[in-house]
Amino acid sequence: MPALSRFTASIACGIPAIALALLAACSDSGGSGNGNGSADTASTFVGILSSDDAAESGAISITISTPNPAPPVPTSFSYAVVAAEGSVTVLGGSSVDLTGTYDDGTKAITLTGGGYSFAGVFDGSNRLEGTYTGPASQGTFVSAKSDGSATAFCGSYTGDDQGLWNFVVDGNKILGQAVSSLSGTNLPLDGSISSGNITVLFPGTQQVLATGNRNGTTVSGTWDDPNSSDQGTWTGSVCP
């Protein structure tokens, strides 16, 4: 649809930092995790990735070795740089392991592995997003801080425009991306889900862009540009 073409839319343990190794040790003794995904030692994010050319979709899982990736602003104490790890699975491909670090001062993460490189920022609430480059493409990723119930869906849309339609169901929230294969424009998919009924809002407004339903591992619905007569359908299923 033309709209998709037009709109782009812990604290450390209290010892002054003298070395990265000391920070890591403090972080561990203060309750930060070892990357095993345990709810009381680490933070887990579930998300999707979408390439700029709308040719690549996939799922990404990230674990940060701290239970609190957004600690309070310190006074005389130091922030910590902790370990991060994860995996990315592109549709039609195998899973690739990722390793890196997370800085809870800047809330920035970097991950690499298998020819992929990810860089993103945590919003301090539940959203971690950024950009990536891969062996065959580059694009963006969006993930949600998960309590174990967040689910990533990979899909597509057709009609007066076409492309990728990928999002995460995080409780009663929807967050993701649509990328036009005609223009390459990346559009955020933000909305809500209630009793299986999905609503996606047009960026920056309260106007409805798309509606649909979740039925177990599949999702589907229709989109209708509130600013024109353009419309179509969208569909998806749980990412691999």
Residue 62: partners with Cβ closer than 8 Å, 6 or more residues away: 44, 45, 47, 84, 85, 86, 98, 109, 111, 128, 143
pLDDT in tens, 24-59: 433 343 333 333 444 579 999 999 999 999 999 999
Number of domains in the chain: 1
Burial (0-12, 13-18, 19+ Cβ within 10 Å), 23: buried
- Locate the DSSP E strands across the chain: 43-51, 57-64, 81-90, 95-103, 108-113, 116-122, 127-133, 138-146, 151-159, 163-170, 173-180, 186-194, 197-201, 208-215, 218-224, 231-238
Share the mean pLDDT of the chain: 86
Report which of residues 75 and 82 the model is more confident about. Answer: 82
More confident call, 223 vs 41: 223
**pLDDT greater than 80 at residue 15:** no
- The torsion angles phi and psi of 5, rounded to 5 degrees, stand at -90, -25
Burial zone of 121 (CB within 10 Å; 0-12 exposed, 13-18 middle, 19+ buried) = middle
Confidence band of 79 (pLDDT split at 50, 70, 90) = confident
pLDDT tens, 148-198?
899 999 999 999 999 999 999 999 999 999 999 999 889 999 999 999 999
Provide the domain limits for residue 123. 2-238
3-state secondary structure of 195: coil
Q: Stretch 196-207: mean pLDDT, rounded?
A: 95
Q: Which long-range contacts (CB under 8 A, 24 or more apart) does 112-120 make?
A: 113/88, 114/88, 116/88, 118/60, 118/88
Share above pLDDT 70 across residues of the chain, in percent, rounded to a whole number: 82
Checking if the pLDDT of 87 tops 80, the result is: yes
